[in-house]
Structure 1
Amino acid sequence: MTWLSTLVIAFAMSTDAFAAAVSKGASLSRPKFSEALRTGVIFGAIEAITPLIGWALGSVAAPYVAAWDHWIAFCMLTVLGLHMMHNGYKTDQAEAPVRTRHSFWLLAATGFATSIDAMAVGVTLAFIDNNILVTASAIGMATLLMVTLGVMVGRMLGALVGKRAEMLGGAALIGIGAIILYEHLSAVA
């Protein structure tokens, strides 16, 4: 596999994480660059590990991962999105203190939900001539960059949409899950 195809795969794997990061940044009150970088590191590490897991599982898990990855991502992103929307609604009802940081576990769950497709890619990479460590590192670095940028873009959007940012972010996560599900189901049909 060429370096160009590795970069294309890396950035393709990070686009859904970018969209999730925009919603995460929008739901925070003016996140600092350090928070954006922290989010990028968490997402990037998870996004780099999942293709390694997929590659290690190889042909044994291929039918299971490929058959269910889109459903798992859809369900996880829907649950996280509904949780964010509920919190946004709750914030409207009773003014809660403004959040400046997401919990590690919330970020990790969102990062994992957006990286399930990377695990399936890892399974596929087990069958071709590919240096999985280079590819996984490229995916992790691209995700770190895209997510850090996404949180900062979300910061600007959060200032525009105000209190409704968390509700919009939750809706965006549900939309990402629906798109993942639609793409996989339409590819099968």
Structure 2
Amino acid sequence: MELYNGRPEDTSGRKEKEIKVYDILDSLHIPYIRADHEAVMTMEACEEIDKALGMEICKNLFLCNRKKTSYYLLLMPGNKALKTKELSQQIPTTRLSFASGEDMETYLNVTPGSATVMGLIFDPENKVQLLVDEELLEQEEFGCHPCVNTSSIKMKTADVFDKFLKEIHHDYIMVKLSDGNEQE
């Protein structure tokens, strides 16, 4: 798998939402490494991409409360399993479940399999609350999709949380998720 510095030279055939991600990162002078690949839908499918980028891409889950009045994008290490009860108590909210693909498209302009923090650029009204596992904030580098699951990008974690989120007027709540070995 070939790695590239920055945006693709030829953007024909690329989706507008992907190009918008590169436009924002470039305008903020955030350097990033890009890998183009076949569509990936699972963390297991990302293993080859992880090896190429020299890091693990985080798991991105789009969640909502029971009444579907609050939406959350959870970023967590790929090796952790989500325990909704544990997370719900930290926010606090009613028990969480996975939001629909339709809602994901409405709020983040992404389809299932391509959820990403970059999708928050399409949420100017801050309807989606970003939740981040503390382990991700401790890592030097951060990997995600640029709103499509046929490319992955790697950049400095500080650039995502200090520059990118400030630019798009989003904040995050840090959560502490267990490693998944305990019973819920």
* Fold match by TM threshold 0.5: no
TM-score with structure 2 setting the length: 0.23
More helix by share: 1
Larger Rg: 1
Greater relative contact order (CA < 8 Å, ≥ 6 in sequence): 1
TM-score with structure 1 setting the length: 0.23
More strand by share: 2
